Amino acid sequence: MWIRIIGSAAGGGFPQWNANDRLNRAARAGNPGVRPRLQTSVAASPDGRRWVLFNASPDIRQQIAENPELQPHPEMSARATPLAAVVLTGAEIDQISGLLSLRERQPFALYATEQVLAVIASNSIFDVLDAQIVSRRCLPPEGFIDLCDAEGAEIGIRIEVFSVPGKVALFLEDGGRQDPELRSADGGTIGVRLMEGSRSLLFIPACTAVDESLRQRIAGADMVLLDGTVFTDDELITAGVGVKTGARMGHIAMSGPNGAIACLNHLPVDRRIFIHINNTNPVLDEESPEHAAVRAAGWEIAQDRMELML
C-alpha cells in the first residue's frame, strides 16, 4: 500500500497567514531547515491508481496540485479524479472544510462516524456535495471496514476505526457546558488503522491523551502517525499567541511526563512519526534543541510529500 503525507501542519498551516514570530518568518523566507507545510491530510492507495483521502483540509486544491498521483489521469474522462473515497477522523474545520473544494458533481464516497455526518448534515453549505452523487457512509466508532468507491466497488483498502480521547470541534463548543475539557463522545474523534497483510499504520491526527486502550492499539504497529500539535502543553500561552493549553485545544503535547513521547516510550513500534504540527511548535526548526530531543527519542517529524509503504 502506498501512503503519502500531503499535509503535515496543524490548522492554519505553516507559516500561518497572520503569524509573525521567528519560526513563521523563517518559513516565509525559505530558511534551510524550516520547511513550509500544508494542513494535515494523508492519501493511501492499494495500486497507485485509486486513492483514499484521510481528512479534507482547506489546502486540498494545492495538495492535489503538488501531488500528481491525485490528479486526473490522461485516459480519464473530461471530469474525473483518482480519489475514490474520503475518510474523516473528526469534524474540525481543518478536517472537513476541504470537502467544499471537492464539489463539481464528482462522485466519491464520504466516510465518517454518525456524529461527524450529523455535523455535515446540519450545515447546509455541505449540500454542494449532492448526496445523490457523493454517498455518505457511516463508520462505526469501533470496528473494521472495507472501503468502497461511490459505486460500491471495493477499493482494496481495509481499515480499523477506533475512538480516541478528544474534544468537540471548535465551532461546536458550548460555553455553558459543565465539562471544561469539552470532551467528545465516542466517535467524535477517531483514529484509523490501515492494514496490508500483517503490516499496519495508525493515523491519529488528534487526541488529548494516550490512555491504556490507545497504548494497546499502538503496540506492535509498524508505523504510527500521531498528533504532534504542540511540544509543550502551555506552548501557545508561553509564546503569547493564545490562552488555551494543548489539552484544551484537544491535543496531547509531545513532551512532559504525560506527553506522547513518555506515554509511548518502550512500546514496540517500528516508526513513530509526529504529524499535525502547529506553527508555534519549535520542532519545525530542524536546528532546534526540541527537534533534536524528539529525534533522539526515536521519533520523526512528518513532512509534506513524505512517502510510506505498507
In angstroms, how far is CA 32 from the centroid of its own chain?
Answer: 25
**Residue 154 parent element (H or E):** strand 154-163
Q: What is the pLDDT along the chain (310 residues), one digit of tens a residue?
A: 999 999 999 999 999 999 999 999 999 999 999 999 999 999 999 999 999 999 999 999 999 999 999 999 999 999 999 999 999 999 999 999 999 999 989 999 999 999 999 999 999 999 999 999 999 999 998 999 999 999 999 999 999 999 999 888 878 876 544 444 455 556 689 999 999 999 999 999 999 999 999 999 999 999 999 999 999 999 999 999 999 999 999 999 999 999 999 999 999 999 999 999 999 999 999 999 999 999 999 999 999 999 999 9
- Angstrom distance (rounded) from CA 136 to CA 134: 6
Nearest to 275 by CA among 227, 241, 238: 227
Q: Quick one: which of 227, 261, 230 has its CA closest to 246?
A: 230
Sheet holding 2-7, edge to edge: 134-139, 108-113, 83-87, 51-54, 41-45, 2-7, 306-309
The answer to whether the beta carbons of residues 281 and 229 sit under 8 Å apart is yes
CATH 3.60.15.10 fits 2-309, yes or no: yes
In the numeric block, which cell numbers belong to residue 263?
A: 506515554
User: Domain spans of the chain?
Assistant: 2-309
Instruction: In whole angstroms, give the CA distance from residue 42 to residue 303.
Output: 11
Res 221: pLDDT: 98
Neighbours of 83 (CB within 10 A): 24
3-class DSSP state of 200: strand
Show the cell assigned to 107: 462522485
Best CA proximity match to 10, nearest among 309, 301, 307 = 301
- pTM, entire model: 0.95
- Report the distance separating Cα 224 and Cα 246, nearest Å: 20
